[in-house]
């Protein structure tokens, strides 16, 4: 069985597209790999399988035999996948790929800067299936069973359960994940093709004035944790995902400052705590403990909307309205901070994200002017 050649063909020919080859290593063992030829491009797949070129005992020869059989099975599988792909079909093996296994592999090899958003997209898809499609078990869901109607429903779920432009960003990342599945021949066509997430132009969220926030603070709520956390967001501009994960270790009680790594951007932000925010937090607790014990985002929003209605405020308020209100109230305060300061306080990665609040202020001014009565001359 020995060979002095650096490379040797074991199975297959160039016509087969996938050839099993071996390479003698400096250690004396032989590494098995696949020589793959597709569309005029050659690539290699090292199998991390090795045979002993100096096998002498029956056990060593049997081990070599089993290793070669395994390598040949892999070669046959790769060749089948290649031939199916060449004719526009998905191989039976790839067609049975589980979504959860594919995503785990995708995330493990993903290294771009938007990894947090990619993970967030998969988490929201998991929540979507759990809340809206209880009959679908994500652990048994095949990638090929995700269809267009499921994507349409997912978009509607994101619109209801996301804040700001988050829903659109998450769907964009999820489409990216599905496109990669097409590129790697796991599915023939992305189920998200033709499914659009139409973003609302500008900032349409209702804004709470300082007087309305004060009114809410005096209005009873069935869940005091949600009430405190929402008012806290009105005072700090924290997103729901960040306030839910806020821990006492994030608070510097000596300087009355809060430092967090934003889940959406991965960037740190330092926020000064005013007297209301400090009173809500209270005394220092266990550094590892959560400051607020909150239910799901959907559960919090339902409770907040009932609370707002009870206070007599006729506005459609979601959790993200607290962040918007914080920004607008900050820009219209007596101190009149510049847009760069507000952008830094909100943890924005670009001033363009903050500029939308200045447009809201212009709209509010226009609305106030138009509300003035007509005067007869």
Q: Tell me, yes or no, whether 82 and 99 share the same domain.
A: no
Examine the domain organization and report whether 348 and 293 are in the same domain.
yes
Whether 28 contacts 34, CB under 8 Å: no
Element (H, E) at 99: helix 99-109
Using the Cα atoms of residue 77, residue 81, residue 87 and residue 88 in order, give the sign of their dihedral.
positive
> Is there a single domain that holds both residue 82 and residue 110?
no
User: Do 113 and 234 sit in the same domain of this protein?
Assistant: no
Q: In this predicted structure, what is the pLDDT of residue 94?
A: 59
* Domain count across the chain: 3
Q: 161 and 76 share a domain?
A: no
Distance in angstroms (rounded) separating the CA atoms of residues 12 and 18: 7
Q: pTM for this structure?
A: 0.49
Same domain, 102 and 79: no
Angle between the N-to-C axes of helices 320-331 and 339-346, in degrees from 0 to 180, rounded to the nearest 10: 150
The verdict on residue 217 lying in a domain is yes
198 lies in some domain? no
Residue 233 sits in the same domain as residue 349: yes
Give the pLDDT confidence score for residue 195 in this predicted structure. Answer: 93
Task: Identify the domain boundary among 45, 61, 86.
Answer: 86
Q: What pLDDT is attached to residue 364?
A: 52
pLDDT at 362: 54
Report pLDDT for 290: 94
Q: Which residues of the chain have pLDDT under 50?
A: 1-6, 12-14, 202-203, 348, 351, 354, 365, 369
In whole angstroms, what is the distance from residue 353 CA to residue 347 CA? 10
CA 71/CA 50 separation, integer angstroms? 10
Three-state DSSP state, 259: strand
- CA dist 263 and 114 (Å) reads 11
Residue 276, in any domain of the structure: yes
Name the domain boundary from 51, 86, 121: 86
Closest CA to 123 of 168, 164, 174: 174
Same domain for 251 and 156, yes or no, is: no
Segments forming the whole domain that contains residue 62: 7-86
Give the model's pLDDT for residue 124. Answer: 93
Domain boundary among 86, 111, 135: 86
Please indicate, yes or no, if residue 1 is contained in any of the structural domains.
Answer: no
List beta partners, residue 42: 37
Distance CA 55, CA 68 (A): 13
pLDDT for the residue 122: 94
- Work out whether the CA dihedral 84, 88, 89, 91 comes out positive or negative: positive
In angstroms, how far apart are the furthest CA atoms of the chain? 113
Q: Find out whether 197 and 172 touch, Cβ atoms under 8 Å.
A: yes
Q: Is residue 203 part of a domain?
A: no
Distance CA 373, CA 138 (A): 59
Judge residue 347's burial from the number of C-beta atoms within 10 Å of its C-beta, 0-12 exposed, 13-18 middle, 19 or more buried. buried
Say if residue 285 is in the same domain as residue 225.
yes
CA distance linking residue 294 with residue 159, whole number of Å: 21
The secondary structure of 167-210, three-state, reads HHHHHHHHHHHHHHHHHCCCCCCCCCCCCCCCCCCCCCCCCCCH
Is 197 a domain residue? no
- CATH number of the domain at 223, please: 1.10.443.10
What is the tens place of the pLDDT at every residue in 292-309? Answer: 999 988 889 999 999 999
Question: Do both 220 and 357 map to the same domain?
Answer: yes
Q: Indicate whether 192 belongs to any domain.
A: no
At 23 the pLDDT is: 92
> Is there a single domain that holds both residue 234 and residue 361?
yes
Q: Is there a single domain that holds both residue 271 and residue 352?
A: yes
What's the gap between Cα 187 and its chain centre? 21
Q: Identify whether 351 is part of a domain.
A: yes
The predicted pLDDT at position 13 comes to: 45
- The Cα 264–Cα 288 span in angstroms is 21
């Amino acid at each position: 069985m020995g060979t002095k050649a650096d490379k040797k063909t074991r199975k297959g020919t160039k016509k087969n597209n996938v050839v099993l080859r071996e390479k003698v290593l400096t250690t004396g063992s032989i590494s098995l790999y696949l020589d793959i030829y597709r569309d005029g491009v050659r690539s290699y797949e090292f199998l991390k399988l090795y045979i002993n070129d100096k096998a002498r005992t029956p056990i060593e020869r049997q081990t070599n035999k089993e290793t070669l059989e395994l390598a040949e099975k892999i070669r046959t599988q790769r060749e089948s996948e290649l031939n199916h792909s060449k004719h526009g079909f998905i191989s039976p093996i790839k067609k049975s790929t589980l979504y959860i296994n594919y995503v785990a592999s995708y995330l493990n090899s993903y290294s771009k800067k938007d990894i947090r958003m990619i993970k967030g997209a998969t988490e929201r898809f998991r929540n979507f299936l759990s809340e809206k499609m209880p009959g679908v078990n994500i652990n048994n869901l095949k990638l090929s069973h995700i269809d267009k109607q499921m994507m349409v429903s997912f978009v509607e779920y994101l619109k209801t359960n996301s804040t700001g432009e988050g829903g659109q960003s998450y769907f964009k990342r999820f489409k990216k994940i599905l496109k990669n599945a097409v590129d790697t021949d796991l599915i023939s066509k992305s189920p998200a093709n033709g499914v659009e997430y139409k973003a609302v132009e500008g900032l349409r969220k209702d804004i709470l004035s300082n007087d309305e926030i004060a009114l809410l603070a005096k209005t009873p709520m069935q869940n005091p944790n949600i009430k405190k956390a929402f008012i806290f967001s009105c005072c700090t501009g924290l997103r729901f995902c960040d306030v839910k994960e806020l821990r006492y270790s994030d608070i510097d009680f000596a300087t009355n400052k809060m430092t967090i790594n934003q889940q959406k951007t991965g960037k740190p932000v330092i926020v000064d705590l005013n007297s209301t925010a400090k009173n809500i937090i209270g005394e220092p607790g266990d550094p590892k403990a959560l400051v607020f014990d909150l239910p799901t985002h959907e559960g919090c929003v339902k409770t907040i909307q009932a609370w707002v209605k009870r206070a007599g405020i006729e506005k459609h308020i979601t959790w993200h309205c607290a962040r918007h209100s914080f920004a607008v109230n900050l820009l219209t305060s007596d101190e009149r901070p510049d847009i760069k300061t507000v952008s830094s306080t909100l943890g924005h990665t670009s001033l363009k994200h903050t500029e939308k609040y200045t447009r809201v202020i212009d709209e509010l001014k226009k609305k106030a002017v138009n509300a003035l009565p007509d005067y007869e001359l």
